[in-house]
Every structure is written in structure tokens, then in C-alpha cells.
Amino acid sequence: MTTHEVPRALLVGGFRARRSYGLGGLSKRATIIGALIVLAEGLIGTQVPWSLLVTLPVTAVAFVLAASRRHGMPALSYYWAKFAWKRATRFQATSYRRLLLPFPYVLDLPGVGASSTLIAAHDPTTGKKVGVVHDRSTGWMTISTLLAPGGSLMAPTGAVQSGLRTWSSVLDAMSADDQVKGAKVTIQITPGAGEALGDDVRARRDPKAPRLAKQIADELVRTTPHATASVASWMSVTVDPAASPNPPSDLPEQVAEALRVVDGLDLAGTGTDIERRATDVDLRRIVRSAYDPEVFHARDRDFEQLQWGECGPVAADDTWEEYAHDGGISISQVLQEMPRHAIPYSVLLPLLAPGRFQRRITLAYRVLDPYEGEAVLEREISHAYNRAQATAEMKGRPTYAQRADAQRAESAAEQVAGGSQVVDWTLMVTVTARSAAELSAARAELDRAVKSMRSIRLRPAYGAQGAVFAAGLPIGYNPLVKS
């Protein structure tokens, strides 16, 4: 049985991308903007007819770009993003250099993490330290939980089903709490963790063992550091303490309120074990080792005195398809298209397999409240039927893809009516090479893993490499959550 040949009971479905209704493949907003532009051109053309010779070709090109697709997105959006990125590069906004500033100035993380700061808190319920990331611009708090995922490939079908149902219950709990803004689950695979195993084997080897056994052990010790990896996983939950019926007045009370909300999310039974809440030292290690993988296995005392801004890079350059930083060069990919059919629960296994380079896989969630989710689905059903009806009027019948899309929208609405929740989600993957010479090998390794999934398509994060890199870190940034 391969990773894709699983019982139907372990297939996960219900995926659908939002699609607005517009003219000729355009979105609703693009259609309205285009109609206004054409109307304005017509009014101007009545006074200055020769202007139509310039405006009409330009408008036609814009319509074609907006209706066509490039890498899974509207071509107009793609080229506009590239223009914006080139403009930012001209003003050196895509380069970061850490400066030594005198007190009381502080160093911030680059890019989307600039507004975050780290708070070393004390959890009175457990008596242990907890690291809380505070977003100074929104006031939101992000708390991370270190996880120890258990393997489920050899687990009974009933156990896997129970884990999927429990995870669904966790998402339901998020939808019922206005304070929970979003969540992320990240798994980081760092190669080269076999040194400790090799030391342990050498210390425990019996000197009286047969020579063949010693040779086999030596061969394993020699190859293990290159064939094993250290797996670290965590879940980050972003909370708005001010959304409480009794908003806390000061920062300590806000931290306590955020801890209370996160403690209310029970992950027991989801197929993973909770190690503990991440401390401030854990967060410094995760962030710093992302920019410099060489320090991932350093001792805790090496991170205790680091300021939050010092966990970031000394220098970084955010290019169109790469992100160069202290310890190497990273490339990130994002979800291009939702799966159009049910997928096996083990579909991400090729991405989670150890490789030569550090890899970080992040699933980001934003659970819609029941009223918003119901309104979204009703709107999606209307859009699906409007598209099918428009096609039927022009071609005599709607396309099969349009009929299937309408059926998926109705099926989702039926599930919501039965108590399910609507969840916005996305997948992000980052691979870090130690040098520019290894970048092509890292890219090829990631491409092979993505193709092995078959059901899920990813694309490079064009012009947003630094943002997607940061989205996989527990620094309070979630691309699905808007302030």
C-alpha cells in the first residue's frame, strides 16, 4: 500500500477555492472596475474622440491580463506584483542590514516581524516559563506550543479517524472564540542530527564484539549523520486579548488573558503529544536557527542573552525567488491550487521526509465564525450558478467543471448546515541551502517532494520570499489574518 492508497475512510475532502462572479473570467471587482473604466473612456471619447486610439488598446490589454492566469494567479496581479517588487528594489526596500544603535533604541526583526517583541512570561497554572510574542501594532499575542507528533502510518484506521475528528473539534473551538484570530502548525526538519547518536553508539560498543559487528557499527556511525534529521514541531495561536468581554487594562493582564485562551484549546487526541509551552529561549532558538541552521543544536545558554532583534539576520536580501540571509539562501513555495478531490491524510508525507537541507512546512488556518462561514458559502453558491448560467446562455450548456464546482459549493453548505465550520487555510514550504552553490540542489529536492504529493500543487512565492520565510516562524505573523 503506497502513501496514496489508503482506505476511503481516511480520505479528507471538502476543499474549494473562493471564486467571485465576473465577466469573461474576471472577478467581480475587476468587472466593476473595468465597466467604470470603459464608461469613463466613452465619456471622454465623446469630447476627444482621438483619445480612444490610445485608451482602448491599453484597456484591452489590461482586460486580457486580468482574465488570463500566470502561476495560478491573475496575470495582471502577477505583473503588478513584479512591478511593485522592482520599485521596492530600486529604493533598497528589499535589503536589510542590522545597525548597531545606541540605547534606548532597540533592534527589530526584518520585514513582517518588525512590529513583534518577545515577552518572557510566567504561567501560574503550570509554574513554568512561557514565551509570548506581542505585536505592538495590533496588540495581539502569539503563544506557541511545542509538539511531539506521533507516527500514524502504522496506526489502526479507527485511531487515525479519531485524530482527524479531534482536530476538527479543535478548529470548531477556534470558530466559537472571537479572541482566536488564527493558528499555524509548523514542522521543521533539520538534517545532521545523527552526531549524538554516533557518540552514543561508540560509547556503548562492546570491545569484545566480533570484527564484522564492529565494522557494521562503524559504517552506521559514519553514514548516520548524513541520513538522519532532527524534527521540531510547534503550533502557534494568535489571540486578541482586547476581544474579551472585559478587556484587560495593562500588559500583564493581556498576557494572562492570552494564556487562558490558549489553555482552552485541548489538543489531546489529535495524534500529537504536547511537550510544553515554548519558552522565550525556545523561540529565540527557533528564529535564530532558521536564519542560521548551524546553531540549531547549540546549548540553551547560547540563546538566553540574545535580544529579540538579534535572533534575526545581520543582513538579508529579499529577491524575486530567493531569500538570502546569514546562514544561507532560502526558497519558499506556497499553495497554488486547492485539491479538487479528496486526498489521503498522509499526502504531505513526501514533504516531511528528511533530506539534505533544512525544510519547514507550515499549515496556516483562519477559522470563520459560523455566521461569516454561512454567508460566504451562500455567496459562493450564487456565484457558481451565475457562472454556469452565463456559460449556458453563450454555449448552450455549462461546462462540466462549472457543474462540479457548483456541486462542491452545495456540498460544503450542506456540511456547514450540519455543524461543520469553514476554514481558510494555506500551505507554505521553505527550504534553506547553506550556500549559493547548493541552491540548485535544494530547489531540485523541493521540486521532487512537491511532485511526489501529486494532489497538491505549489508555486514559488514570487516577490514574497521574506514574508513566507517569516510566516513559518513563531513571530506572530499569519498571512491569513488581517488586522
Q: Tell me the C-alpha distance between 196 and 87, whole Å.
A: 48
Percentages of the chain per state (helix, strand, coil), in multiples of 5:
45, 20, 35
This prediction has a pTM of 0.83
Residue 113 to residue 63: CA distance in whole angstroms: 36
Q: What share of the chain in percent tops pLDDT 90? A: 24
pLDDT (0 to 100) of residue 3: 44
Q: Are 422 and 368 in contact (CB under 8 A)?
A: yes
Q: What mean pLDDT value characterizes the chain?
A: 82
pLDDT at 4 (0 to 100) = 45
Q: Residue 198: pLDDT above 60?
A: yes
Q: Binning pLDDT at 50, 70 and 90, where does residue 412 land? A: confident
At residue 466, φ and ψ (nearest 5 deg) are -65, -40
Measured between alpha carbons, how far is 482 from 126 in angstroms, rounded to an integer? 32
Q: What are phi and psi of 280, to 5 degrees?
A: -65, -35
Q: Lowest-confidence range among 11-15, 280-284, 343-347, 455-459?
A: 11-15
- Check residue 162 and give its pLDDT: 76
What pLDDT was estimated at residue 468?
A: 94
Owner of C-alpha cell 542590522: 98
Q: Quote the pLDDT of residue 154.
A: 59
pLDDT score of 322 more than 90: yes
Q: Taking residues 317-328, report their average pLDDT.
A: 90
Query: What is the per-residue pLDDT for 227?
Result: 56
Per-residue confidence (pLDDT) for residue 2, from 0 to 100 = 44
- What pLDDT does residue 221 have? 72
Q: What is the mean pLDDT of residues 167-192?
A: 85
pLDDT for 474? 94
Position 359, amino acid: R
Distance (Å, whole) CA 71 – CA 28: 21
